Amino acid sequence: MSVSQTPHKFGASTTAAEVIDGVDLHGRRAAVTGASSGIGVETARVLAAAGADVTLAVRDTDAGARVAARLEAELPAGSGKVTVGRLDLADRSTVAAFVAAWQGPLHILVNNAGLMAPPELTRTPDGRETQFAVNHLGHFALATGLHPALAAADGARMVSVSSIGHLFSPVVFDDLDYRFRPYDPWTSYGQSKTADALFAVGAAGRWADDGITANALMPGNIADTSLARHVDMQQVAAFIASGDLALPPQKTVEQGAATSVLLAASPTVEGITGRYFEDCAQAEQVTARAGAVAGVAPYALDPENAARLWAVSEALVR
Per-residue burial over 57-95, b if 16 or more Cβ lie within 10 Å, else e, is bbbeeeebeebbeebeeebeeebbebebbbbbbbbbebb
3-class DSSP state of 294: coil
Per DSSP bridges, beta strands 281-282 and 108-111 are unpaired
Torsion of CA 4, 151, 114, 221, to 10 degrees: 20
Residue type for position 226: S
Is the alpha carbon torsion for 188, 190, 194, 196 positive or negative?
A: positive
Structural contact between residues 133 and 84, judged by C-beta atoms closer than 8 angstroms: no
Query: Exactly one of 178, 183, 189, 299 is catalytic; which is it?
Result: 189
Indicate the helix (H) or strand (E) that contains 277. Answer: strand 276-278
Length of the chain: 318
**Do 44 and 35 form a contact (C-beta atoms < 8 A)?**
yes
DSSP label of 268: G
Q: Among this protein's residues, is 178 annotated catalytic?
A: no
From the list 86, 91, 114, 115, the residue with the least C-alpha distance to 101 is 86
Number of Cβ within 10 Å of residue 161's Cβ equals: 30
Q: Whole-angstrom Cα distance, residue 72 to residue 271?
A: 32
Measured in degrees and rounded to the nearest 5, phi and psi for residue 6 equal -60, 135
d(Cα 108, Cα 212) in Å, to the nearest integer? 10
Q: How far is CA 12 from CA 9, 65, 142, in A?
A: 10, 31, 30
- As annotated, the active-site residues are 189
